[in-house]
Amino acid sequence: MSSMKPNSVHDGVKTHGSRSSSCRSELIALKQSVKIKLKYTQQEAALRNKRQNQKRIFKFFLSKKLLKPTLQK
């Protein structure tokens, strides 16, 4: 009996090749998903930092009486 080799066909059914191809596809999809989530997480963090900096700057100008608070309707 011969040992199975990658991408071999046994009784008309692919053995290792189709399985590894499927795993590769799943890994690629997972990697892309992680990249997208990381990108959005980084963008959210940058936006949060920007907002915090804007608040600090606004409070500084208010404390120095360089800005007058306005009421929005």
In the chain, which ranges are continuous DSSP H helix? 16-63
41 lies in some domain:
yes
Beta carbons of 58 and 69 less than 8 angstroms apart: no
pLDDT over threshold 80, residue 13: no
59 lies in some domain:
yes
pLDDT over threshold 60, residue 7: no
Q: Read off the pTM.
A: 0.52
Q: Which residues of 45-73 are buried (b: 16+ CB within 10 A; e: fewer)?
A: eeeeeeeeeeeeeeeeeeeeeeeeeeeee
3 lies in some domain:
no
Total domains present in the chain: 1
pLDDT-based confidence at 1, cuts 50/70/90?
very low
Backbone angles phi, psi at 44, to 5 degrees: -65, -40
Task: Show the domain range for 28.
Answer: 15-63
pLDDT-based confidence at 11, cuts 50/70/90?
low
Across the range 38-51, mean pLDDT stands at 96
